């Protein structure tokens, strides 16, 4: 039987989900695992080189067919820490926003918040690889993932996009979810879901396996990121997909 091509995000936030996946022999026999940054994983799922991906939810409208195949996601109930608008000046002085090329969800979340919540209208620019060096003066930037945790040490103004979304809507936010572009066998989905949960029940071990000095990973995995795809998170997701039509 052909292997199921699975794509996962290369950031620290995905380590708790991958912990059990890479330890499940039964799963690894069925799976070819690819790890890359989120916008790449989304493009691969849309093109069909993946069957399942932990994809940015903003890419969902690009898929002809999609199925959420797991109860786990990369979400947040309040401040997420690793998805922020970083700036040297306060919000009302920002003239230009550089948008992280590795993101599909957060750059659109920032557009939604600028328009409907903060009600300001700076210029937006899709950024290139070295964009973090250009976050200065009245030029701000949306940065995601591990690089955002680093950027926290450099930027005086940090606007957490999940916290702002929560204040705007009263709902949690889903950044990425395990989405398949075709129906997959029930037996695989069950095994896959169970494997996702293993690391979440062993966060101490996941932290120990990933030495990191920039940010406390107990806080990051245990408080900032919220991994369960609950009914309220699904409501947050639906609301975001609605607003996405008009950005
Ligand atoms: C919370 C995060 O969520 C991520 C944000 C994504 C996006 O903006 O497209 C995609 C996948 C997630 O890993 C993060 O990476 O910091």
Q: Do both 180 and 201 map to the same domain?
A: yes
- Return d(Cα 69, Cα 242) in angstroms, integer: 21
- Return d(Cα 125, Cα 50) in angstroms, integer: 29
Q: Do both 101 and 112 map to the same domain?
A: yes
Tell whether the model's pLDDT for residue 199 goes beyond 80: yes
Q: Do both 50 and 119 map to the same domain?
A: no
- Pick the last residue of a domain from 126, 150, 169: 169
End-to-end Cα, the chain, rounded Å: 42
Tell whether the model's pLDDT for residue 37 goes beyond 80: yes
Domain that holds residue 224: 4-76+172-244
Tell whether the model's pLDDT for residue 175 goes beyond 70: yes
Q: Which atom of ligand 1 is nearest to the CA of 107?
A: 8
Average pLDDT over residues 83-93: 98
Average pLDDT over residues 154-179: 98
Q: Do both 100 and 152 map to the same domain?
A: yes
Q: Do both 65 and 180 map to the same domain?
A: yes
Average pLDDT over residues 199-214: 98
Tell whether the model's pLDDT for residue 125 goes beyond 70: yes
Q: How many domains does the chain have?
A: 2
Indicate whether this model's pTM tops 0.95: yes
Q: Whose structure tokens read 């997909």?
A: 241
Residue 17 CB–ligand 1 contact under 6 Å: no
CA dihedral 65, 235, 237, 162 (to 10 degrees): -170
C-alpha 139 to ligand 1 mean position (Å): 22
Residue 103 CB–ligand 1 contact under 6 Å: yes
- What pLDDT sits at residue 1? 66
> pLDDT band at residue 57, thresholds of 50, 70 and 90?
very high
């Amino acid at each position: 039987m052909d292997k199921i091509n699975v794509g996962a995000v290369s950031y620290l936030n995905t380590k708790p989900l991958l912990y059990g996946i890479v330890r499940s022999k039964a799963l690894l026999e069925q799976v070819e695992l690819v790890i890359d940054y989120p916008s790449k994983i989304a493009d691969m799922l849309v093109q069909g080189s993946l069957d399942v991906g932990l994809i940015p939810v903003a890419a969902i409208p690009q898929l002809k067919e999609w199925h959420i195949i797991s109860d786990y996601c990369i979400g947040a109930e309040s401040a997420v820490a690793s998805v922020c608008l970083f700036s040297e000046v306060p919000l009302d002085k920002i003239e230009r926003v550089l948008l992280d090329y590795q993101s599909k969800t957060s750059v659109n979340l920032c557009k939604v918040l600028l328009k409907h919540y903060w009600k300001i209208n700076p210029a937006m620019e899709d950024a290139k690889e070295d964009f973090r060096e250009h976050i200065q003066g009245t030029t701000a930037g949306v940065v995601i993932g591990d690089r955002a945790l680093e950027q926290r040490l450099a930027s005086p103004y940090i606007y957490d996009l999940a916290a702002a979304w929560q204040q705007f809507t009263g709902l949690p936010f889903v950044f990425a979810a395990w989405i398949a572009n075709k129906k997959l066998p029930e037996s695989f989905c069950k095994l896959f879901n169970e494997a996702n949960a293993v690391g979440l029940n062993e966060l101490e071990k996941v932290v120990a396996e990933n030495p990191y000095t920039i940010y406390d990973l107990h806080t990051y995995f245990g408080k900032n990121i919220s991994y369960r795809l609950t009914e309220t998170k699904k409501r947050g997701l639906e609301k975001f997909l609605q607003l996405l039509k008009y950005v």
